[in-house]
Amino acid sequence: MKKYLVLVSTLLLLAACGGSPAVDDSSSSQESSTSVSSSSSQTKESSKQSETTKQSTSSSTTTASQEPAGDNELQQAYPNEQMPSASVVGNAQTISMAASEANNTLTVSYYNTESKLPLNDPQLQNQTPIAQFQRTTYASSAEARNAVAPTFDEGGQAVDLGYNITGYQQSGAGSSYLSWQEGNWNLTVQAININGEDPLPLAQKVVEYLETAFLPVPKDAGQITLSVTGGGYESNVVAWQVDTTVYKTMHTDALSSLQMAVSMKD
């Protein structure tokens, strides 16, 4: 009987010892599964971060490559000069520029091309500008004022231009001239009589535009001369004095010549 009890006890002990490894194996399996799952999660997160970095880098590269080359070159060539924004001249992707400086005058010419060309590209030499910017420095403020040549004549018929502004219209040499003043600015719109042109609509459009857009402040003189007909870029001129310096913006389109000047306001 004692032998039987000893045998049973031994068998029970062996059974208990044999079960323990199974528990350990299950625990190890769970730990291994957790480790693999964690590793997989970290790998996915790392992959996402890598993809985000690639997208960010790609976006930065694309943005940089889309910046018009001519604009950057112009800024680098004349870092201390204030100039009109090329975007108001025309489509920034098709406006090419040429710049030169001589006799105290910096000249930037703007050309409408099929695609953006580098600054001073030889292809521009035989083309006609649609717009131009000039900055000229004079020996005295009196010389600068004379270069602006401000003119205003209150003779002729008074015309209501809106916004409490009165213009004065008169005719001479086959043209009609409508003139008015706004601050230190003298403005004149020219119309060709033989073409049946009327200066009033353009003058009213200019007055309305300048109610919300602000020109640079002349020190001391400013002159704006616009043409109903248009034509070459020199037919629309915005000129103003800042001490001994005179700035000019010119464009084949009357309002665009104003927008060029407005883009230079401090």
Q: Token digits for 89?
A: 């001249």
Do the Cβ atoms of 247 and 236 come closer than 8 Å? no
CA-nearest of 101, 98, 100, 104 to 86 is: 98
* pLDDT at residue 70 in the model: 64
* pLDDT at residue 93 in the model: 86
CA-nearest of 182, 263, 193, 181 to 228 is: 193
57-70, pLDDT tens digit by residue? 443 343 334 445 66
How many angstroms separate the CA atoms of 118 and 85, rounded? 16
- Give the length of the chain: 266
Confidence (pTM): 0.75
182-241, pLDDT tens digit by residue? 999 999 999 999 999 999 999 999 999 999 999 999 999 999 999 999 889 999 999 999
Q: Which amino acid is at 161?
A: L
Domain ranges of the chain: 69-263
